[in-house]
Structure 1
Amino acid sequence: MKSSRSFSMHLLSFSERGTGERRTIPDRCPPAKKPVLSWPNPDESVTASSSLNQLYQERAAYRLPLYSARQVARLTGLSASTVQAWTHADDHEALVQAASPEGLSFLNLVEVHVLAAIRHQHGIPLQRVRHAVQFVRQELQAEYPLAQHQFETDGVDLFVRALEDENLLINASRRGQITIRQLVEAYLRRIERAADGFPLRLFPVYASNPGFVPSGLPAYIVVDPTVAFGRPVLTETYVPVDVVVDQYRAGDAVADIARNFNLSAPAVEEAIRYELGA
């Protein structure tokens, strides 16, 4: 059944994607197979005594450790080792405070997504990034400072000022780099929020290269912890990406998959690119 939600971001143009030449997706999957990420078993993620509806109403689902470092890495275009270094649960100086030693939450994912904006573009020392995050956390008095709506309104300026120095600005300008502020704001626009500013859904940026800015990037894939236990799903029908790609691996043609799941062919192709890293 097609979702009644509005997906305005889905209509964004491919022309501004800026990720370089896109690989052509063959109509059928070649014989070689690639392991897929394993997602939490629902019974392991939520105790039997908990009501999912109640969890969602209280927004507890957004704090559940649904993701491994590897899964967050896949959703943010980072390496798993980078995500692990940023999110050590027992490290008080961690850039992102992990939900638990067992995994990362959706709010953790959103924070890593924001940090990925500067990681992809600027050679900023990790210690400077850590200082900036700690500064914003202290100023905003927030458990998840980079995921808070207040970060968009007040925190970006604090964050950028803590990150940048005169030499960095001059060097970036000489290289023609987009500013840190522009990058962070572009990544923040990929977060859909409730009326009170709480982050509800993330349209992930899972691939980039130098000079990349996600302005105009299509939003075929979305992550919502209240849908499919936080697995990446396609915005058109909310069918999980891995379910669609399993059909492709089984030898089904893109057109047949699109018809079976009531999806557009570009959405199916994007699911394949995401899952297979094409």
Structure 2
Amino acid sequence: MTDTALIGVGLYTLAEAERLVGVPAGKVGRWLRGHRAHGRQYEPLWKPEVDLGDERIYLGFRDLMEVRVAAAFIHAGLSPQKVRRAIDLAREMIGLDRPLSTVHFRTDGRTVFLRMAEDDRDRLIDLFRKQYAFREIVEPSLKHVDFGEDGVPRRWWPLGRRGHVVVDPERAFGQPIESTTSVPVASLVAAVSAEGSVEAAAAAWDVPSSAVRHALEFSSLGEMRKAA
């Protein structure tokens, strides 16, 4: 893919995805590359949006959003194989390649799991017997996500709008930016290190000091995730 083709798609390494969504890079790699365990080959949960032709795994913005929802289901007790089955069924019912992170899935996802239970003659887990339990899993994963009219995620506010950091595949190739200035978070954080203070970094970039503080707050969240 060319740089132009990545506009509106986003580009994230596994390490960047881990910092953003909090799911270990190795786990995301297994989900998107497939893996072999106990003599059995497991296929990828889905094909990543981005292929740079170097055999490494990269994610697009939609992949990031899909990972968040898939991780929530696995944390709730579903096996990756059942998540894969849910994705396949949701693709049939919703008609989108990455259905878990859509508004449509938030509405129709419980039907997907009930159909799985019927088709597989497996009750899955009691969690999906009640609508509120299903929503308790899905809603936090899609929190602070802006959707387009087609129900597809368009941008994500990791700390909420009040955090003033947005991940938008239409801007800066999807890297986190400070929303009031559109300056990449990484650039503002690096400026603090280089200039020695928030005020000096703000002057160097000709932005308000508050913008630099927003970037530092977001960056500290990523550091806490790495330390956890």
Q: 1:114 aligns with which of 52, 69, 73?
A: 69
Q: Tell me the number of residue pairs that the alignment of Structure 1 and Structure 2 aligns.
A: 205
Which sits farther off after the overlay, 217-226 or 159-168? Answer: 159-168
For residue 3 of structure 2, what is the amino acid of its counterpart?
Answer: S
TM (norm. structure 2) is 0.72
Aligned-pair CA distance for 1:180? 4.3
Say yes or no: does 1:153 pair with 2:100. no
Does 2:206 align with 1:249? no
C-alpha separation between the residues in 2 aligned to 1:241 and 1:192?
20
Q: What's 1:87 paired with?
A: 32
Matched residue, 1:169: 126
- Distance in structure 2 (CA, Å) of the matches to 1:85 and 1:110: 17
Indicate the RMSD between aligned Cα atoms, in angstroms.
3.5
Match of 2:20 among 53, 56, 75: 75
Inter-CA distance 140–204: structure 2 relative to 1 (3 Å threshold): same
Q: Which residue of 2 aligns with 1:140?
A: 94
Which of 108, 133, 141 aligns to 1:187? It is: 141
Partners of 1:157 and 1:81 in 2: CA distance: 29
Q: Structure 2 CA distance, aligned partners of 1:148 and 1:167?
A: 22
Contact residue 129 and residue 163 of structure 1 kept, 8 A? no
Quote the offset at 1:81 in angstroms. Answer: 0.8
Correspondence 1:270 to 2:217: yes
Q: Which residue in 2 is equivalent to 1:232? A: 176
CA offsets 1:170-202 (integer angstroms, 9 cap, x no match): 7xxxxxxx9342131122232202234332102
Q: One-letter code of the match for 2:208?
A: N
Q: Which has the higher contact order (CA 8 A, sep 6+)?
A: 1
Q: Is the 8 A contact 2:20 2:222 kept in 1?
A: no
Q: 1:201 aligns to what SS in structure 2?
A: strand
Q: Contact conserved, 1:131 with 1:162, CA < 8 A, in 2?
A: no
Runs of 5+ consecutive residues of structure 2 not aligned to the other structure: 36-40, 53-57
Q: How far off its partner does 1:145 sit?
A: 1.3
Query: 2:14 is aligned with what amino acid?
Result: A
Bigger proportion of residues as helix: 2
Normalising by structure 1, we get a TM-score of 0.60
Aligned counterpart, 1:45: 3
* SS class of match (2:59): coil
What displacement does 1:135 show? 1.9
Measured in 1, the distance between the counterparts of 2:116 and 2:194 equals 48
After superposition, the C-alpha distances for 1:134-160 in whole angstroms (9 at most, x for unaligned) are 221222222221233322332x22355
Instruction: Work out which of the residue numbers 45, 59, 62 in structure 1 matches 2:8.
Output: 62
- Inter-partner Cα distance in structure 2 for 1:262 and 1:109: 30
Distance 1:131 1:96 in 2: 11
